[in-house]
Amino acid sequence: LGFEQILKNSLTTLPMGGGKGGSDFNPKGRSDDEVMRFCQSFMTELARHIGKNVDVPAGDIGVGGREIGYLFGQYRRIRNEFTGTLTGKGRSFGGSLIRPEATGYGSVYFAREMLTKAGKDIEGMDCLVSGSGNVAQYTTEKLIELGANVLSMSDSAGSVHIPGGMKREHLDYVMELKNERRGRISEFADEFGLEYLEGKRPWAIPCQIAFPSAPQNELDKNDARTLLENGCIAVCEGAHMPTTLDAVHLLEEAKILFGPAKAANAGGVAISGLEMTQNSMRLSWTREEVDNKLKNIMESIHDKCVQYGENGEWIDYLKGANTAGFVKVADAMMAYGVV
């Protein structure tokens, strides 16, 4: 994941390196006080290793706005200064508009660019979204806004099939369920009388586009084969490397549109970079300004993937993303000289 992050950050066109870190603390079933105490203890040890010009942590699996607030509060107590050392902060203390939505929105923007390049429109497409956390929620929100039909959401216990497509009231319920009550997705199925697939992932539901937006390696070779048999034309990774390597090979052999994680979900880290910029400039851009910058960044990432991945009539987005990300990093390393 750390290596992937280097290439992803390179693709954003912003001047950022990349890395990964975390802990083995599981916040599920913990009280707010327990989560707060852990975050404060974690930051007490981490603070000496990070800084706005050193390393800038951001949220990920298990780390949302609540945890970033606790971490940043402790950092300020220890360092006695206000800097953009963490991103994903709340709006009242230096956060950026669109930051919570950025990864999900960005993956949809990238998928739209792939479809447009292929002469297709995302409006009216049947889409599967896995997960029900931050990325899945805002992927779903943007898909609804663009007129696509979202047929699923899931969590680690099972999946929900929404035959008529997600409506705004459905999404509002899921957001309240997951962000406030920390409940299970089965409650969503019960509330609206929807089909609940216990212990199953959503990939057996026929669709045209799949957005894997849950943890790593959730879409395996059998799932990929099922998607292809059901007529899927595109897979766009909203999560970090959610597709297993053999599944990626199968999708690539079928020559469908495949948006790899390092390109498709780079929206989150791109807006993290823009949050750092706003903190440094001591200003706050409007929602429209940030969203337009996000669209432009995702379009630029797509164009770079096409530049390095075009192969006759087919575009190998995985090769394009890997090559484009690597070339920028390699150029910088060569310019620094041998160390």
Residues carrying an active site annotation: 20
Residue from 149, 139, 137 nearest 176 by CA: 137
